[in-house]
Structure 1
Amino acid sequence: MPLQPDDLRRFLTSVHPYDALDPDALDVLVPQFLIRQYKPGEEVYAAGVQLEGLYLVLSGQVEIRDENGVAVSLLGQRNSFGERGLMRDGTAATTASALDDTTLLLLPTYAFRELIAEHTAARRFFDRSRAARPQKTDLAHSRVESLMARAPLTVPPETPAQEAALLMREEGVSSLCVTNARDLIGIVTIRDISNKVVAGGLDTNTPVSEIMTYEPVTLPPSAIGSDVLHMMVERRIGHVPVTEAGQLVGIVTQTDLTRFQAVSSAELVAAISRARSAEEMAETTARIPQLLAQLVAGGNRHEVTTRLITDIADTVTRRLLALAEEDLGTAPVPWLWLACGSQGRQEQTGVSDQDNCMILDDSASERDMEYFAEMAKFVCDGLDKAGYYYCPGDMMATNPRWLQTVSKWREYFRGWIGTPDPEAQMLASVMFDLRPIGGTKSLYEDLQEETLEAASKNSIFTAHMISNSLKHTPPLGLLRGFATIRSGEHKNTVDLKHNGVVPVVDLARVYALQARLPEVGTRARIEAAIAAGAVSGSGGQDLLDAYDLIAETRLEHQAGLVKRGEKPDNYLAPTTLSDFERSHLRDAFVVVKSMQSAIGHGRGMLS
């Protein structure tokens, strides 16, 4: 029985983004869909052909394979496919085949282009690129949930005024929310106690219900920061409770607004540059999670946020190096401190250990080595105190192996390239992300150039590095879902670091080695690889879009934890995402898997 227009309309209203279209738009769209039926094993289209339009699964299953024949996705009812090619040049990048009796809805190319041109919801859904968002971090562009203090102190209405005052003094706050269960009924401030109890002559056992402000004005978490500011100015108040569905969820004070506007990477860098000890620096670095949440809330792109956060780690390191020389005396020979890992790539988030090493001038004597060993201990211990915990793999300058002369480092790299065993692959992966932080930079410049040239010319080493880059795989399940962690503390989550960001980091590093690119940052490496022809323009752009989505999802997850008063981590439960977000994230993982397949088959690019 043919599908009737009313049935098609009902189906579309159950699929995003069509459910966001108004009735008139659906009236125009419904007649444009064509119905296509396929038998098991029948090909819908092949890689490299011109797409007819956008496909939407009405029933059955469709398998998507990359250009190397590797299955990268299994789609079912309500899943769309083909949009990647349509958003680019109209050419299919993959092959699609029916696994069983399958009915597809085909929206012709012209109709698809009209849809995304005229409807923002559709354009946002189908456009996988992460266009630059406005980089605003002022109150007018920040939601109250990113400003408020969660779990504000509360007391019941019968609490004596003196007891309330003692609690405020002990906790260092200037107000208490008065609640009955979780329902907010009032707010009492230190000013209320001063004016009404002390100056007004009331008994100190007077219950706070008699001096509090009843039914104080509140705002929802979705309000913006300027709403709070305007309310405080207009009503001459310094505290605004935040409620959601009648429940108290937070509070914003004048201090919070001042702190928000004061917290910037520049302000933290300035404070660290004046610090006289690691303990002082720790007081400043403790504010990094708040900075992260603020930067994310302000719409900054992930590479901007991680660059600013890494700048703080660089400043801490340089300050500790300066304090070490003050304590130990001037260094006897030229030296260079380098960061590797996420700090080396300038991609630190709210969760960071330390990875570092030192390169010394070849004139360094055994006695000089003792000096630099003390310097390394001073700096690494200081970094740990400042919140950059010791590297679990001992990849630090305190390890004598990573505190060596230029000649020794040259020997290291030659050995790794010449004999690429598993340890050499791992070490090369870390050490190819080196970035000078403090000292004499010229000690590394020639070494980097020599190493890139030697690595790019050694096909066996490159092949081993490619193999190493495929060890971390995107968390894709067989049936349209995610392959989550099965047990333990992080059960039913995906690791956005090791199975999300790291696979892209590894691919970008291989591209850089193949093309002898000096860039260290992941995004910069992919962009340079596209320009150098180490990866195709279309495949590289897809990988950039996928990386942007995964990296920003990771930061948004960490920022969300910070807002809830929790420590940031990399473990995301897919169930916390909307259908829209899950669809995009899974598509990003599919792109990464496709690029891994391409480089694993010796092509290194995806058309």
Structure 2
Amino acid sequence: MPLDRDARRRFFATHHPFATLDEATRAALADQAETLQRAPGEAIYTTGERLAGFYAIAEGSVEVSTASGDLISRLHAGECFGERGLLVDGIAPYDARAAAAATLFLLPAAEFRALMRREPGFAQFFGRRTDETAAVPRPAGADLATLRIGEIMTAAPITAAPDDSAAETARTMRDHGISCVLVAEGGRLVGLVTASDLASRVLAAERPGDTPLREIMTGDPVSLSPEAIGLDAMAVMIEHGIGHLPVVEGARLAGILTRTDLLLRQALSSPMLVGEIGRKTDLAGLREVIAKVPDLLAQLVGAGAAPHVICRLITDVTDALTRKLIAMAEIEFGAPPVPYLWLVCGSQGRQEQTGVSDQDNCMILSDEATPEHDVWFAAFAKFVSDGLDACGFYYCPGEMMATNPKWRQPLATWQRYFRGWIDTPDPMARMLASVMFDLRPIAGDMTLFDGLHAETLRRARANSIFIAHMVANSLTHQPPLGLFRGFALVRSGEHKDSLDLKLNGVVPITDLARLYALIGGLTEVNTRARLIAAREAGLVSDAGGAELLDAYDMIAETRLQHQAEQIRRGARPDNFMAPARLSDLERTHLRNAFIVVKTMQAAAAQGRHTVV
């Protein structure tokens, strides 16, 4: 539907990359941009067509796909598209069509390019540097977590045919100075041959030089799309023990990525720590690796990485440690008597770990499990939890761990747990539900969780009494707002006169995000992802959702900077910060963030989950 002038200006003021512009420029763009309406299934542009400009989605959704119909991405209100073609040759590299009735803003190609030249913030949104931003270092700590592998792969890689000889391929590698050749047939990837393969499968095996590649290649090698991020590529390489990763776009071979490519671009050490964990064979070695995590956090904060990226990378290390301990436990105790699933909750479940974390975990066992089987699982759980504690992830004070028999139960018992919490939501039930709605599977039989998760979300969403209790639960932790534009500080004890940036900072937003997820039946577990999904689902308005996201990022960033400063001083990181260390401007921004949270809590208390 057509949007009035105020609605257009609000859109440009609250959505990136336009939000990086000054108010006058944004207002001019909002007034000048052409408004387009597209019906479901209607084309916006097709592959090979000259792009009219840069598109922003005001309402509805858009699907981007290859010319052959392979879906690349589905975009929603607030997202933009068309820049990839504009930044190259002005030709559309993909098809774009409305997935649902869509209202779009079209910024002419000439105006888009002008903004790229004269607006550093606008250009940096797309990872491009203008002359003005060339001297500003890109946040190195965020590279692998934000760069698409299409940006760092080698395009148009050297290929060979399945019937090409080993000797001919070896000469090709020598002449081009490469260590790998992709084997393709009709433009489709069918295999991969490395210099190591030639050495071990031809020379060492005393096979003739005319041996065809189809006899020595690795067939159907693991691959990723150009839209995957560098972090995904590193994880795949570590998991499969490979150094060469083909990049495939639909059915077309697009390029190749090597471990060297990643290391050259990498300023993060999280994937390296994950790799180190995989190579350790004892608890002492694992403790050595985890001892590096505080330095990793400080490095990432100093590099300017976004808070949600930092927390994700820290959590990735903890996930790797957990899986390693689980693997070691299975070696120690033998094969499990029945299938099981190890899950985490709390900050690890939400992928939001910082420099200080306890452990929150549980186990779902197959319904085939008997009381006799629990002897094995009790020892197993103790081995893993003891290992986590030895590495610095201290035991949960509330015993929310798989070592507690209550949280190590067959699937049928877990189904009764969730039904009870939802059908009889007393204070204890809603507290337990709050923790358990952040569950994320780590290792084991993933099918034990799928049905439980879907059924629980369905029951929770349909129970208005339970939702009302969860609304009350989301108001338990209040932002630390005091009178006369001050903060409400911790009143006594070791942390007297400080702000609790966890309990009164991020937790109120985490509780709101969980509430939105339950109301909307959203499957996301991460707080930031829940807030984005809630806005897309209309559970919060664009303006309210954008403000809450900004508030969350502001508070999370302040918390991480505080911890990084402690780590650099050699102190143990915590969540208690004296506001005196902030400048007047920082205190004002932080207080404004708390006001946003308070406003959204008030809306939830009044049954208004959409704030305009």
TM-score range normalised by the length of the shorter chain = 0.5 to 0.7
3-state SS, counterpart of residue 443 of structure 2: strand
Deviation of residue 137 (structure 1)?
3.6
Work out whether 1:348 is the aligned partner of 2:372. Answer: no
Question: Does structure 2 retain, via aligned residues, the 8 Å contact 1:278–1:383?
Answer: no
Deviation of residue 536 (structure 1)?
1.4
Which residue is equivalent to 2:505? 500
Work out whether 1:519 is the aligned partner of 2:524. Answer: yes
Question: Does structure 1 retain, via aligned residues, the 8 Å contact 2:142–2:304?
Answer: no
Structure 1, unaligned runs of 5 or more:
1-49, 52-82, 90-108, 115-122, 125-129, 140-260
1:321-360 equivalence runs, <5 A: 321-360=326-365
- Return the match for 1:277 from 278, 282, 294: 282
- Return the match for 2:450 from 445, 451, 472: 445
Which residue is equivalent to 2:139? 135
Deviation of residue 366 (structure 1)?
1.6
Deviation of residue 277 (structure 1)?
2.1
Q: Report the Cα distance in structure 1 between the residues aligned to 2:349 and 2:26, rounded to whole angstroms.
A: 43
Q: Given residue 408 of structure 2, which amino acid in structure 1 is its aligned partner?
A: L
Q: Report the Cα distance in structure 1 between the residues aligned to 2:553 and 2:480, rounded to whole angstroms.
A: 17
Deviation of residue 446 (structure 1)?
0.4
Q: Report the Cα distance in structure 1 between the residues aligned to 2:26 and 2:320, rounded to whole angstroms.
A: 50
Pick closer, same or farther for the CA change 1:339–1:544 going to 2, 3 Å: same
Identity %: 57
Deviation of residue 535 (structure 1)?
1.5
- Return the match for 1:601 from 596, 606, 609: 606
Which residue is equivalent to 1:265? 270
3-state SS, counterpart of residue 404 of structure 1: strand
Which residue is equivalent to 1:424? 429
Q: How many residues align?
A: 379
Which residue is equivalent to 1:365? 370
- Return the match for 1:572 from 574, 577, 581: 577
Work out whether 1:415 is the aligned partner of 2:420. Answer: yes
3-state SS, counterpart of residue 296 of structure 1: helix
Deviation of residue 278 (structure 1)?
2.2
3-state SS, counterpart of residue 140 of structure 2: coil
Q: Report the Cα distance in structure 2 between the residues aligned to 1:131 and 1:507, rounded to whole angstroms.
A: 31
Deviation of residue 485 (structure 1)?
1.1
Which residue is equivalent to 2:486? 481
Q: Report the Cα distance in structure 1 between the residues aligned to 2:497 and 2:407, rounded to whole angstroms.
A: 38
3-state SS, counterpart of residue 491 of structure 1: coil
Q: Report the Cα distance in structure 1 between the residues aligned to 2:576 and 2:332, rounded to whole angstroms.
A: 41
Query: Which string of whole-angstrom CA distances, capped at 9 and with x for unpartnered residues, describes residues 101-131 of structure 1?
Result: xxxxxxxx869979xxxxxxxx99xxxxx99
Question: Does structure 2 retain, via aligned residues, the 8 Å contact 1:134–1:300?
Answer: no
- Return the match for 2:438 from 433, 442, 451: 433
Structure 2, unaligned runs of 5 or more:
16-22, 29-118, 128-136, 144-265
Pick closer, same or farther for the CA change 1:476–1:138 going to 2, 3 Å: closer
Q: Given residue 369 of structure 2, which amino acid in structure 1 is its aligned partner?
A: A
Query: Which string of whole-angstrom CA distances, capped at 9 and with x for unpartnered residues, describes residues 293-320 of structure 1?
Result: 0011111101110001001111111001
Aligned-pair Cα RMSD in Å: 3.0
Q: Report the Cα distance in structure 2 between the residues aligned to 1:485 and 1:596, rounded to whole angstroms.
A: 21
Q: Given residue 334 of structure 1, which amino acid in structure 2 is its aligned partner?
A: P
Q: Given residue 542 of structure 1, which amino acid in structure 2 is its aligned partner?
A: E
Q: Report the Cα distance in structure 2 between the residues aligned to 1:276 and 1:515, rounded to whole angstroms.
A: 44
Which residue is equivalent to 1:535? 540
Q: Report the Cα distance in structure 2 between the residues aligned to 1:487 and 1:85, rounded to whole angstroms.
A: 45
Deviating 4+ runs (over 6 angstroms)? 83-86, 109-114, 130-133
Q: Given residue 396 of structure 2, which amino acid in structure 1 is its aligned partner?
A: C
Which residue is equivalent to 2:226? none
Work out whether 1:559 is the aligned partner of 2:564. Answer: yes
Pick closer, same or farther for the CA change 1:329–1:499 going to 2, 3 Å: same
Q: Report the Cα distance in structure 1 between the residues aligned to 2:26 and 2:542, rounded to whole angstroms.
A: 23
Q: Report the Cα distance in structure 1 between the residues aligned to 2:12 and 2:279, rounded to whole angstroms.
A: 54
Q: Report the Cα distance in structure 1 between the residues aligned to 2:550 and 2:387, rounded to whole angstroms.
A: 37
Deviation of residue 483 (structure 1)?
0.9
Work out whether 1:374 is the aligned partner of 2:379. Answer: yes
3-state SS, counterpart of residue 438 of structure 1: strand
**Structure whose CA Rg is larger:** 1
Q: Report the Cα distance in structure 2 between the residues aligned to 1:111 and 1:502, rounded to whole angstroms.
A: 36
Pick closer, same or farther for the CA change 1:85–1:589 going to 2, 3 Å: farther
Question: Does structure 1 retain, via aligned residues, the 8 Å contact 2:14–2:546?
Answer: no
Query: Which string of whole-angstrom CA distances, capped at 9 and with x for unpartnered residues, describes residues 362-399 of structure 1?
Result: 00112211111110000000100011100000000000
TM-score scaled by length of structure 1: 0.59
3-state SS, counterpart of residue 377 of structure 1: helix
Deviation of residue 481 (structure 1)?
1.1
Q: Report the Cα distance in structure 1 between the residues aligned to 2:26 and 2:477, rounded to whole angstroms.
A: 35
Pick closer, same or farther for the CA change 1:131–1:502 going to 2, 3 Å: farther
Query: Which string of whole-angstrom CA distances, capped at 9 and with x for unpartnered residues, describes residues 324-365 of structure 1?
Result: 010100111110000000000000000010000000110011
Deviation of residue 87 (structure 1)?
4.6
Deviation of residue 574 (structure 1)?
0.9
Which residue is equivalent to 1:42? none
Work out whether 1:385 is the aligned partner of 2:390. Answer: yes
3-state SS, counterpart of residue 332 of structure 1: coil
Query: Which string of whole-angstrom CA distances, capped at 9 and with x for unpartnered residues, describes residues 563-596 of structure 1?
Result: 1111111111111101111111111000000000
TM-score scaled by length of structure 2: 0.59
Which residue is equivalent to 2:459? 454
Query: Which string of whole-angstrom CA distances, capped at 9 and with x for unpartnered residues, describes residues 521-569 of structure 1?
Result: 0000011111111211211111001101111111111111111111111
Question: Does structure 1 retain, via aligned residues, the 8 Å contact 2:142–2:309?
Answer: no
Question: Does structure 1 retain, via aligned residues, the 8 Å contact 2:142–2:268?
Answer: no
Pick closer, same or farther for the CA change 1:323–1:526 going to 2, 3 Å: same
1:39-58 equivalence runs, <5 A: none
3-state SS, counterpart of residue 597 of structure 1: helix
Q: Given residue 327 of structure 2, which amino acid in structure 1 is its aligned partner?
A: A
Q: Report the Cα distance in structure 1 between the residues aligned to 2:25 and 2:274, rounded to whole angstroms.
A: 52
3-state SS, counterpart of residue 396 of structure 2: coil
Question: Does structure 2 retain, via aligned residues, the 8 Å contact 1:339–1:435?
Answer: yes
Q: Report the Cα distance in structure 2 between the residues aligned to 1:308 and 1:138, rounded to whole angstroms.
A: 10
